[in-house]
A and B are shown apart, each in its own frame.
Chain A
Amino acid sequence: MTAPSPIEVHDVSLRYRLDRANVGTIKEAAVRTLRRQRTVESIHALDGVSFSVERGEIFGVVGPNGAGKSTLMKIIARVLPPTSGRVVVRGQVAPMIELGSGMNPELTARENIIIYGALLGRDPRHMRDRVEAIVEWAGVEEFVDVPTRSFSSGMMARLAFGVATDIQPEVLVVDEVLSVGDKAFRAKSQARMFELINGGSAVVVVSHSIPLLQEVSTRAMWLDRGRIKMLGTAGEVLDGYQASG
């Protein structure tokens, strides 16, 4: 008997109503309603997407801007509920999407590690014990009790990456994260990612960098305007996407 897939996406669609006029205030809405100017339309951010990702697999997602890649990441990370279809994610999810935004600049690195860990669903007592290891990995040991306001963006990214990857999550969601930081950080974070993959995580990577995806991913999906254009081995999908220009 094989274990069920960590990520299963069945016929998922996400629609939302968007007001073209971008009505932002009650006053504007009232005026527009009186003038019958409301122009609401339904947007299909994702349309009937199905796939699954197995343990130890690195699943690359490519597509032009607005194809629904980030929406898909949010659906897997449970942030957005699908309008129709079904998503099943088994295990802890460590999302690594635009790192550092969960950190408060007024708080110290130590306080931020504990809060950020708690936001990711981890026990604060456990996080307290992990602070030393995380700051060491991020290379900010000397600044553990300094407000992160004075940190460089690279230090923030390393710290956030260190917290997110401090556990062996069953599912790792990576959105363009490897393009931040210097060469040394990229190498270090890639090494950490491979550690997690070898440990059995299912990884979904979204990136515009075809060479990076070609190097790391095992399977890939090409999204275009919310639909799957191609789904298969990394080689064929990425070649196909590149050939399309």
Chain B
Amino acid sequence: MTAVQSTVVYDSDLRRRPLITEFQNFWRYRGLIRLLVIRDLTVRYKRSVLGVWWTILNPMLTIAVLWIVFSNFFGRGGVLGEPYVVYLTAGILMATYFSQGVIAAGSAIVNSRNILIKIYIPPEIFSLSAGVAAATHFVLSLLPLFILQLATGQGIPWTVVLVPIPLVFMLMLVTGLGLLIASAAVYFRDVLDISRVVTQLLNYLIPTFWTIDFIEGTKAEIIVQANPVYSFLVVFRWWVYGGPTPPAWTLLMMAGASVAALVLGVYVFSRNWRRVVVRL
């Protein structure tokens, strides 16, 4: 045993200050977040024979199928200035980051029930950790994209150094949406299933394997562009392989939607956390 000199005082009268407390917790618990992310990665890689390669292989298989099926459709239309396989891969990777991140962040609190009902840890830490783990997977999956860019002669432009910007904004978006889902999930068990379906649908609504010129000038185009994930997609394609330069509003939308989702998610969770822990 070692003596630990501590002056930790818990006083239930010191109430949470919405938003401030949570963001302080994110910073205060950064060491634990790091460990939880490492745990998440270790567990995932230990479970499969292929280990870390599985994370890369998994989206690649999806991409291979889509490429075989759709390359004749979209690859030869001449609308794309870039190789279809690069266009497709970049789109699928960003869409996967979004859908997996939202679901992971949304289910993290319920999944950590065993810990949360016994040890005091701010629950929002688990949602952020799940988001960071999804971001890490996204970074790992960039490697095959780079290989494809080199193999197709598309190359890797200098703007690739800007990719951390959509990466971080996406982390904010998935953590915020995850906390909203988590707040609702303790009341209704089916919220997570519904979210799964909705994120899946949202992913079909953005041009991952298809191209926007199919719906150009229609009402459908407005619906597609109103989806914040669309702005991530076009900005990411622009920076990661030198895709077409998107209009300025996409940058604003990407940043605005992410900050709004994070602030709203944290705020709603903060207002509900007492009910969340009682019902866990």
Contacts and interface: CB of A to CB of B under 8 A. Distances in A.
A87 interface: yes
B188 A26 contact: yes
Contact of A26 (B3, B4, B118, B191): B191
Interface of A: 16, 23-27, 29, 74-75, 77-82, 85-93, 95, 97-98, 101-102, 104, 106-107, 111, 114-115, 118-124, 126, 130, 147, 165-170, 195-196, 199
A132 B97 CA distance: 39
B22 to A, nearest CB: 15
Nearest to B113: A101
A168 B3 contact: yes
A79 B191 contact: no
Contacts of B36: 115
B43 interface: yes
B31 A89 contact: no
Contacts, number: 123
Contacts of A118: 31-32, 35
B72 interface: no
Contact of A16 (B118, B121, B278): B278
B13 interface: yes
Contact of A25 (B117, B119, B188): B188
B160 interface: no
B190 A88 contact: no
A26 B120 CA distance: 29
Nearest to B40: A104
B117 A74 contact: yes
Contacts of B3: 167-168, 199
6 contacts: A26-B190, A88-B9, A91-B8, A104-B43, A165-B1, A166-B1
A101 B118 contact: yes
